[in-house]
Chains A and B, each alone.
Chain A
Amino acid sequence: MKPYEIIGHTADIGIRASGRTIKELFENAARGMFAVIFGENKDGHEAESRDPAAITSRKIEIKKEIFRYEDLLVFWLSELLYVFDQESIVFKDFRILELTNSGISAETSTSRIDLSRDVMRREIKAVTFSDLNIEESEHGFTCKVIFDV
C-alpha cells in the first residue's frame, strides 16, 4: 500500500492514504495533504529557508472530545492547514504521540518557507467530511479525504 496517493474529483481534489496503525494513517494523510498543496513528490522544501537554525520543532495539540476517527482526522488535518496558512511554514515530519477520544498530541519539525517563490501548486480551502471514511483491514487502515480547493 502506498502511504498516500492523490485522487481526482471534478470540482476538488482528494487523497487516499494508508497506514499500518491509525497513527500512521493520520501521519500519511497529513503528508498527502501537503502533496496536494505542493505537488506530488514535492513538499515545499524547495522554498525552505537555507538557514538550518530556521528548523524548529512544533507541537500540535488538539484537545476535544471526538468519538469518531473520521471526525478526528478532519480536525487533525484542518489544524495543520491552519498553522501552515497562518505561519508560512512547512512540516518536515509528523509524529503522533497520542491519539484518543480526547484529542491528538503530535510533534512535528517545521521550517519557514518563502511563499513569494511560487512553490505552491494550489490552495486548499478546507478539509471536507464528504465521502470520508476510514476502513480497517488485515493490513491496517485506509482513508479517503476530499479537500475543497
Chain B
Amino acid sequence: MYKLEKIDSFRWRIPRSYKSGMRVPGLMYASEPLIQEIINDKAPEQVANVAFLPGIVGYSLAMPDIHWGYGFAIGGVAATDPENGGVVSPGGVGYDINCGVRLMRSDLELGDVKPRLENLVNALFNSVPSGVGSGGDIKVSEKEEKEIFVKGAGWAVKKGYGVNEDLDHTEDHGSMEGADPDKISGRAYKRGNDQSGTLGSGNHFLEIQTVDALYDEKIARDMGLFEGQVTVMIHSGSRGLGYQICDDYVKGMARCLAKYGIDVPDRQLACAPVNSQEGREYLSAMRCAANYAWNNRQCLTHLTREVFEKIFNKSWAGLGLRLVYDVAHNIAKMERHAVNGIEKMLCVHRKGATRAFPGQPVIIPGDMGRYSYVLSGLDGAMKETFGSACHGAGRRLSRSGAIQKCKGRNIDRELFEKSGIIIRAKTRSTLAEEAPEAYKDASEVVDVVDGAGLSKKVARMRPLGVIKG
C-alpha cells in the first residue's frame, strides 16, 4: 500500500521516505474516487521513480488522468534545473513527440450539420489518411523535410495549407526554436517523409463535435465558442519520425547513466544532463519532431477544411472554421518558472500533460462516447505545476482488458444507437480498445484540475462523428 498523505480534497503527496533515492516528494492531483483507481494501477510507483531524476525541482507531479506508462507515468510533469545537474529524459517526453490536440471552431450549428453528418464523416474518413503506418499524399523531399523540422506549421502555411492566424493560435506559433535536423538519424528521416497530414492509429482521432455546455460565457466568447456550435478536434503527433528519434536517443542515453553516474530505478528513465552534449543533441532532435507534429496537425486542418468546403459548398473562412488553439501534450521545454521566489530556466517535461499558462486555452479530449473540454489556464498552474494541467481522460482499462470487456459487442453500432454518434475506423480492434468505458470520466478529471485552481472549465463538447485510425 502506498504511504499517501492527503493534503486536501485534490492533492496527495508521496513522501520521499516512500522509496530511498527520491530527491523530491511526489504530488498527485486527484479526487477521492480517482485516487482509489490510481493506487490500483502502477502509476504512483512511476511518479516515485521520476523523483530520482537529478536536478528535479519541487515535486514529481501527476495529473488526475495519470495512468501506468513506461518510465514516466502518463500524466506526469517533471521540471529539472540545468544549473543544478538537471537532466532531460527522452522517456519523459515519450515516443510520440508532440502528440497533441487542436480545436477548430465554426459558425455552423448542430442543425446545419446533422442532416449532412454522415456525408461529412464519410468524406473526412476518405480524405484524411489514417490507420497503422498510414502514408499521405503530402510527400516531401529531404530538403523540404528539413524545412518542416525547422519551421514546423509555418511550412504548411507557406505551402498554402493554412494562414498566419492559425500559427497565432498554436503553442509556440507551431515551431520551437533550436531544432537541428543534423541531429536526426537517416532512419528517422525515412520514416518521416510521407507522413505529413496523416492521423495515425490507436488513440488518435478526428472528431466533429458540438458545444453542449458553457461554464464561463465570457471566456468562451473570447475563444469564439457558443452553445450549439459545431467544432472539430484533431489528436495526432509526429508519427514514425518521433518514434524513431525517441528510440534512437533512449538507446543512446541508456549508456549515459553510467557515464554521468546517474541512478534511476527504470532504464526507460535514461537521461543525460541538459547541459551535456547528449542532452543538447536530444533537445535539438526532439524539437524537429515537435515541429513536424505541429506541421502534421496543420496539414490535417487543411484536409479537414477542404472537406467542409466541399460538403457545405462554402469557403472555410466563410464557415468560420478557425483554429481555437493547438497544444502539445508530450514535450520537454525550456521555460522560466519561479522556484522559491527566484526565476529560473527549467527543463519542463510534460508526458501526457498540457501546458496551461494563464489565459491559454487548454484542450482536453475525452473518450469517443462522452465529451471533451476546453479549459483556460490559471495562475495556480504557474505556482504549482510549472504551468501544466491534465491532457485527457486517461485510461482505466488496459487495451486487452477493454477488448475482453467488449467481446461480442459492436461498439460503433452501440454508440450510434445510444447517442447518434457516427464512427468510422480503419482498424476494427481499435474500437474495442478505445471504447468509452476504457477511459476515466473526463468530467471527473477536469473537475480536479478546475477545483485545484490549475485551469478553469470553459466549455464542454460532445462527439457527433469520429474518425479513428
Contact = CB atoms under 8 A, between A and B. Distances in A.
Interface string A74-96: 11001000100110100000000
A135 interface: no
Given A129-B268, A130-B266, A10 B132 contact: no
Nearest to B73: A11
Interface string A7-24: 111111100000000000
B67 interface: yes
Contacts of A123: 132-133, 200-202
Contact of B67 (A11, A13, A82, A131): A11
Interface residues of B, number: 47
A130 B268 contact: yes
A91 to B, nearest CB: 16
A10 B41 contact: yes
Interface stretch (A49-57, A97-105, A114-122): A114-122
A12 B95 contact: no
A63 B47 CA distance: 35
A129 B250 contact: yes
Contacts of A6: 400
B235 to A, nearest CB: 15
Given A9-B68, A149-B399, A126 B191 contact: no
Interface stretch (B106-114, B170-178, B240-248, B284-292): B240-248
A85 B267 contact: no
A8 B426 CA distance: 23
A128 interface: yes
A6 B403 CA distance: 13
A120 B267 contact: no
A42 to B, nearest CB: 11
B398 interface: yes
A22 B237 CA distance: 36
Contacts of B202: 122-123, 149
A71 B270 CA distance: 12
A132 B131 CA distance: 28
Interface stretch (B334-342, B363-371, B382-390, B427-435): B427-435
Nearest to B247: A126
B68 A10 contact: yes
A125 interface: yes
B270 A122 contact: no
Contact of B94 (A8, A71, A122, A148): A148
B337 to A, nearest CB: 27
A149 B243 CA distance: 10
A25 interface: no
B96 interface: yes
A126 B243 contact: yes
B90 to A, nearest CB: 11
B267 A70 contact: yes
Interface string B45-78: 0000000000000000000000111110010000
Given A85-B240, A129-B266, A12 B428 contact: no
Contacts of B268: 128-130
B251 interface: yes
Contacts of B71: 128-130
A120 B427 contact: yes
A70 to B, nearest CB: 7
A3 interface: no
A146 interface: yes
A8 B401 contact: yes
Contacts of B243: 125-126, 148
A144 to B, nearest CB: 12
A129 B398 CA distance: 19
A142 B190 CA distance: 34
Contact of B69 (A12, A121, A132): A12
Contacts of A9: 68, 398-399
Contacts of B399: 8-9, 12-13, 122, 149
A130 B351 CA distance: 15
Contacts of A74: 251
Interface in B76-106: 91, 94-96
A123 B429 CA distance: 11
B433 to A, nearest CB: 7
A6 B429 CA distance: 15
A78 B266 CA distance: 19
B187 interface: yes
B303 interface: no
13 contacts: A6-B400, A9-B68, A10-B395, A12-B70, A13-B399, A39-B429, A82-B244, A115-B133, A118-B428, A120-B132, A122-B429, A128-B250, A131-B266
Interface of A: 6-13, 39, 70-71, 74-75, 78, 82, 85-86, 88, 115, 118, 120-123, 125-132, 146, 148-149
Given A11-B69, A86-B191, A146-B70, 12 more contacts: A9-B68, A10-B69, A10-B398, A11-B74, A74-B251, A78-B247, A118-B427, A118-B428, A121-B429, A129-B267, A130-B268, A131-B266
